[in-house]
Amino acid sequence: MKKLIPNSLTALNLFFGCQSIISSLEGNLQQAAWFIGIAAVLDFFDGFVARLLNAYSEIGKQLDSLADVVSFGVAPGMIFYVISQDHLLFGNSFPMYIPLLIVFSYLPFLIPIFSAVRLAKFNIDTRQGDSFIGLPTPANALFICTIPFVLESGPDWAALLFASKYFLLLFPIISSYLLVAELPLFALKFKNFSFLDNSLRYLFLLGCGVLIFFFHYFGVGLSIVLYVLLSLLVHLKLIKL
């Protein structure tokens, strides 16, 4: 019976992922992003509750990955697809380039494909305990969720960046690579509250607070970039975890 509680939270995660997809199809991208944010909170708490109740199950593990494919793969991919369709204008292109441009228009669907690959790898990779190998799908999804808000509210230079054809064409490729890259990224798991044992985690959370304070929605996206950069510095042994 205890196993039903975390599994129910996972099912709610999946529900809000589906709601996000519907919102994207209706053109309400900010609402779609909020639904993914709610799914991310539920994704955190289903694991927390499972640990608290000692209610692990193989079904729960598989259900969690399946829900994450939808909420943090398909749903953000749909947000990015709609944004790309709105800002990648191919109408005046030469006919000879039309097949290539059609391919470019579907690049956002690399995001759900590689999210699924990343989650499948996570399920069978025994190395991913206290750290991750490759960018976690919720982190990638949260970065994408910031884009509709930045396009609407700025800052202007960030909105111009997110609306540029170079970003819209390159981001799906770069993010897909990061999802499956053999790059260790630290996990935000506090075994205790000692500053010495968790100095990098505290530094990251402080950096997130500063970025969000100064850049608002864009600060969330910058926090994901900070997370990758700090993990890279740890991997290169330039700083200690």
Residue 134: pLDDT over 70 = yes
Report the C-alpha dihedral over residues 57, 33, 231, 131, rounded to 10 degrees.
0
Q: What is the pLDDT of residues 1-12, one digit of tens each?
A: 666 777 788 889
* Burial category of 80 from C-beta neighbours within 10 Å (exposed 0-12, middle 13-18, buried 19 and up): buried
Q: What angle do CA 232, 166, 171 make, to 5 degrees?
A: 40
Do the domain assignments include residue 87?
yes
Residue 184: pLDDT over 80 = yes
Range of the domain at 72: 4-189
Q: How far apart are CA 236 and CA 59, in angstroms?
A: 37
Q: What is the pLDDT of residues 78-93, one digit of tens each?
A: 999 999 988 876 555 5
The number of domains in the chain is 1
Calculate what percentage of the chain has a pLDDT beyond 90.
Answer: 52
Which H or E element spans position 184? strand 184-186
Average pLDDT over the chain reads: 85
Do the domain assignments include residue 218?
no
* Three-state DSSP class for residue 186: strand
Beta-carbon contacts of residue 235 (< 8 Å; ≥ 6 apart): 183, 184
Whichever domain contains 65, its CATH number is 1.20.120.1760
Give mean pLDDT, residues 137-157: 93
Do the domain assignments include residue 214?
no
* pLDDT band at 130; cut points 50, 70, 90: low
State the pTM of this model.
0.86
Confidence (pLDDT) at 20: 96
* pLDDT band at 182; cut points 50, 70, 90: confident
* pLDDT band at 168; cut points 50, 70, 90: very high
Beta-carbon contacts of residue 179 (< 8 Å; ≥ 6 apart): 114, 115, 117, 118, 134, 135, 137, 140
Q: What is the pLDDT of residues 88-123, one digit of tens each?
A: 765 555 555 556 667 778 899 999 999 999 998 887
Residue 46: pLDDT over 80 = no
Q: What is the pLDDT of residues 32-43, one digit of tens each?
A: 999 999 999 998
Do the domain assignments include residue 49?
yes
Do the domain assignments include residue 16?
yes
Q: What is the pLDDT of residues 199-240, one digit of tens each?
A: 788 888 999 999 999 999 999 999 999 999 988 888 787 676
Do the domain assignments include residue 96?
yes
Do the domain assignments include residue 134?
yes
Q: Which long-range contacts (CB under 8 A, 24 or more apart) does 123-131 make?
A: 123/61, 123/62, 123/65, 130/187, 130/189, 131/184, 131/185, 131/186, 131/187
Do the domain assignments include residue 147?
yes
